[in-house]
Amino acid sequence: MINILLSILCSSLIAIVFKFSEGRESNRYMVTSINYLSGMMASIIMMGSLNIFHINWFSMFMQEFNQVLISGQLFSKEGTGALAIILGIITGILYFLSFILYQKSVGKNGVSVSATFMKLGVLIPTILSVILLGETIELLPILGIILSIIAIIVINLNNKEEQKVKDTMKVDLILLFILAGGGDFVTKLFQNFGMVQYKNLYLFYTFLTGFTISLIMLIIKNRKVKLIDMCFGVMVGIPNVLMPSFLIKGLEEVRAVIAFPMVSAGTILITNFCGVIFFKEKLGKKEITAIVLTIIAIILMS
């Protein structure tokens, strides 16, 4: 459970740093680029002497693929190396696209509506873990999941935006929901079929992919770069590389159907607490209700 809690803490820290950076009108692509670069370098350090690439990994991966799907067993070291590269690239693309889409959606649909759909992405790994991976779930965790979803909706919507949700069920919001949840589910797939000692290789390719795309976008946009943007990027990058690492370890202790809702609900709880303490945000009845629901949900899912 400690790894899930650390994952929640890292996720919350990322949101808090982004709030600081947005207040200073920072260059988002520079923040993202430095974030991914920091994560990539941290992954290399944590990998130690582990090889980054070997062509033989892919031949072993192809040989083992059908057997792993049928039996549900882990790939070998060589097969896991290829799995880490493939899933890492997919995750990097999904996470970057969800971030870009989130920025566009905030301007178009509002931050509350966009955040709600992004957080609701937790349903994807939760449901797919039951359907595709055969995980079981009891009544109390189901109730906890329901309460966490209710808390996410309540805490992100105000009266005006409740009607707005009904009027703006557009493709971009649906894609945001799918991309955010899809990235989490790919992480679950690596944890389910790959050897845990290769998790840092998986993270390396996730960050490498995100950095490559982000750098291309930074060059295309050609915006002014400031030192503070780089600092924010590092501050985001450190917890960003630790968060999925803790999550992968946590998935060995807690099933995905419980872990993902806990991380999502717990992040909301901490970020709202920090909003009140550090950013002097005021909590209304809905925010207080959502926090109470979140606490109950976490207890039920634990």
pLDDT at 94 over 90: yes
Question: How far is residue 229 from each of residues 20, 29, 33, measured CA to CA in Å?
Answer: 11, 9, 10
Average model confidence (pLDDT) for the chain?
80
Provide mean pLDDT across the span 73-102: 91
Sequence-distant (6+) residues with CB within 8 A of 221 are: 29
Q: How far is it between the farthest Cα atoms of the chain?
A: 58
What is the pTM assigned to this prediction? 0.78
Q: What is the pLDDT of residues 250-288, one digit of tens each?
A: 888 887 777 877 887 777 777 777 777 776 766 667 667
Q: What is the pLDDT of residues 103-118, one digit of tens each?
A: 677 556 655 556 667 7
8 Å CB contact between 281 and 111: no
Identify the burial level of 23 via C-beta atoms within 10 angstroms of its C-beta, where 0-12 means exposed, 13-18 middle and 19 or more buried: exposed
Q: What is the pLDDT of residues 49-63, one digit of tens each?
A: 888 999 999 999 999
| Spatial CA neighbour of 107 closest among 183, 35, 176 | 176
